[in-house]
Amino acid sequence: MAALGLDRTCESVYRALLARPRSGLGELRRELGLSDADLRGALDKLSELALIRTSSEAPHSFRAVDPEIGVQALIARQQERLATEQQRIEQLRLAAAHLTAEFSLARPRHLTEEVERLDSIEEIRDRISILVKDVASDVMTLAPDGAQTTENMEAAHPQDLELLGRGVRMRTVYLDSVRNSPATNAYAKWLTGLGGEVRTAPSLPIRLMILDHRTAIVPTDEEDSGAGALVLTGSGTLTALSALFETLWENAVPLGTAARDRNERGLTPQEAEALRLLSRGLTDEVVAKRLGVSPRTARRIAADLMELLGARSRFQAGCRAVARGWLDGDE
């Protein structure tokens, strides 16, 4: 039972309680030959793991929780801890990517072989058109701007057609909000019809394109991706960005299938993400951009969350969300 975090003492106490429910301290101490301190320590550990409870009939005796129920509760708590840890890892990866970009912004162009700076949307498109000619296997893209512009889709159309025709694997993650954009939805379905893979997520941290796991393109300005970009080829940076993409891809939902249902708290993925973003003090405008919706829609989502939490202010909503376990206290 070491996998459950139980040492031999805890295991022996738990098995004794399974065999003889409602055993008291004295009985357990005599049967197992444990000191009072060791026995109490084991009981405290088992209580913390919700594997035993005090008996309602005899307050000084204990009973073991059904192993199936107890273990399922342990698994649920462990999964929650892993999910929290995974979220922190993703935040670290994102922070590393942003730091790389910020560090490079102040550097002269072509200062190193691993960073190249592009200063306009025309330069970005021209550089991409050159880079994709050498792509052999993979193109991975995060597209966080919501509904795509007609200009962007027209510019990407021949390039995507050529890549898919060569058998290149194309994976793209859009925002969930594109499911409500007929034009973007139609383009995404056109991609999948030719063999491309498209998924959606509630929000995306950055705009990103990775070619063959060797070259990455990230914007220099989060608010205006056409203002400039960095072409990155450093192996460490590419490893981190590729891992970030794979994590987001794994959690995204394939286009053409229904979006995820509400979670156990009654929140849609978009509402859960909005709550997380709002808890960080972001404005409605920034939240709207992250979700790919209008500021008006972002304000409506915030109002719905406040009503659900029975809160009169956003601060109160944040406090109640933490108290209910909807948010980590570090958010």
pTM of the model: 0.55
Residue 215 is predicted with a pLDDT of 93
Q: Tell me which residue has tokens 């859009």.
A: 174
pLDDT of residue 109: 47
pLDDT in tens, 228-273: 888 998 888 888 889 889 988 988 888 876 666 666 666 777 888 8
The correct answer on CATH 3.30.60.50 for the domain covering 2-65 is no
At residue 139, the pLDDT reads 94
Q: With a cut of 70, which residues of the chain have pLDDT below it? A: 1-5, 22, 55-60, 67-68, 70-71, 73-74, 93-113, 146-147, 257-266, 328-331
Q: Show the tokens assigned to 23.
A: 């055993």
269-323 folds as Arc Repressor Mutant, subunit A (1.10.10)
Which CATH entry fits the domain spanning 93-254: 3.40.50.300, 3.40.50.1460, 3.30.70.100, 3.30.870.10?
3.30.870.10
Per DSSP, helices labelled H in 106-178 are 121-131, 150-165
> For position 4, what pLDDT does the model report?
59
Q: Do domains 2-65 and 269-323 have the same CATH topology?
A: yes
In the numeric block, which tokens belong to residue 17? Answer: 């309680």
Query: Helices 314-323 and 269-279 sit at what angle, rounded to 10 degrees?
Result: 110
Of 176, 167, 166, residue with least CA distance to 198: 176
Rounded-to-integer distance, Cα 42 and Cα 320, Å: 34
Give dist(CA 140, CA 290) in Å, integer.
Answer: 19
What are the extents of the domains in the chain?
2-65, 93-254, 269-323
Q: How far apart are CA 46 and CA 52, in angstroms?
A: 6
